[in-house]
Amino acid sequence: MPYSNEIVKRNNVTITGSGEKTLLLAHGFGCDQNMWRLMLPALIPHYRIVLFDYVGSGNSDVSYYDQDRYSSLEGYAQDILDICQALDLEDVVLVGHSVSSMIGLIASIQQPSIFSRLIMVCPSPCFLNFKPDYYGGFEQSDLEELLDLMDKNYIGWANYLAPLVIGSGSSEDFVAELSGSFCSTDPVIAKTFAKATFFSDYRNLLRKAKHPVLIFQSSQDSLASTIIGDFMMEQLPEAELKLVEAKGHCLHMTHPDIVNQCLREYIA
């Protein structure tokens, strides 16, 4: 079908694996589908894996980029729904990293029949503090300064954020890879995605979740503290929390074996 081919090309969709159950892996801000590679060897023998890049990320077709559409997470959720429709997917387990946890939640609420479970790796429904009731981790002024740095020194911004995201003590190769991924994204696209990510507030959607949720959380994460995990557990109708003794915001890269094992047990 022409529409299917267009979406596959647009989002650089890759399909691998041979299992009956389908896993749709959704990357985080500033990343692309390659960030899942360390998990794939253990998943491919058991599941059908669908990988993709959001429009504007990775090797997606940037000619499809629309700044209005992608100024909110709903635009990225539509990418997920488009892919599911193009591939005629059903009973999907959606695995989202960071902001894709909320993007996946939006998609699953809009079209619940497509999905069966959600797995969230280092999620946060809101990065902003709303004292005294909610601590997302950042004051608005802090995030505004971070975005201002994107305008003044884009490479400097990438080199500052990458080690913060990966976590102290992690491989320098991961830091360099993430910084390079940030730098490879068009600055206008990156800033639009950053605004949609860091200034959004989707706490109200947690109670509307229509599927069981597994949350992976790092014990030391500069972007999503353990307070966030506790809050989400209180709000989600049906959820489990796996706290991993680790530093950083990218457990699928730094601790893929733990994520894989718990993911497989949860699905089984």
Helix, coil or strand: residue 100: helix
Residue 138 belongs to some domain of the structure: no
Residue 98 belongs to some domain of the structure: yes
Residue 257 belongs to some domain of the structure: yes
Q: What is the pLDDT of residue 2?
A: 52
Q: Which residues fall within 8 angstroms of residue 31, CB to CB, at 6 or more apart?
A: 57, 58, 97, 178, 181
Cis peptide before 112 (omega within 30 of 0): no
Residue 189 belongs to some domain of the structure: no
Residue 97 belongs to some domain of the structure: yes
Q: What is the pLDDT of residue 178?
A: 86
Residue 150 belongs to some domain of the structure: no
User: How many residues are present in the chain?
Assistant: 268
> How far apart (Å, rounded) are the C-alpha atoms in residues 213 and 237?
9
Q: Which of 98, 124, 218, 222 is catalytic?
A: 98
CATH number of domain containing 67: 3.40.50.1820
Query: Can 249 be counted among the known catalytic residues?
Result: yes
pTM of the model: 0.95
Q: What is the pLDDT of residue 79?
A: 98
Residue 173 belongs to some domain of the structure: no
Q: Which residues fall within 8 angstroms of residue 52, CB to CB, at 6 or more apart?
A: 11, 12, 13, 14, 24, 26, 33, 60, 79, 83
Q: Which of 27, 97, 249, 252 is catalytic?
A: 249
Q: Which of 32, 53, 82, 221 is catalytic?
A: 221
Residue 43 belongs to some domain of the structure: yes
Query: What is the tally of structural domains in the chain?
Result: 1
Q: What is the pLDDT of residue 3?
A: 62
Q: What is the pLDDT of residue 1?
A: 44
Quote the tokens at residue 240. 């489990």
Q: What is the pLDDT along the chain (268 residues), one digit of tens a residue?
A: 456 899 999 999 999 998 899 999 999 999 999 999 999 999 999 999 999 999 999 999 999 999 999 999 999 999 999 999 999 999 999 999 999 999 999 999 999 999 999 999 999 999 999 989 999 999 999 999 989 999 899 888 888 888 889 987 777 888 898 888 888 889 999 999 999 999 999 999 999 999 999 999 999 999 999 999 999 999 999 999 999 999 999 999 999 999 999 999 999 8
The domain of 54 spans 2-125+202-267
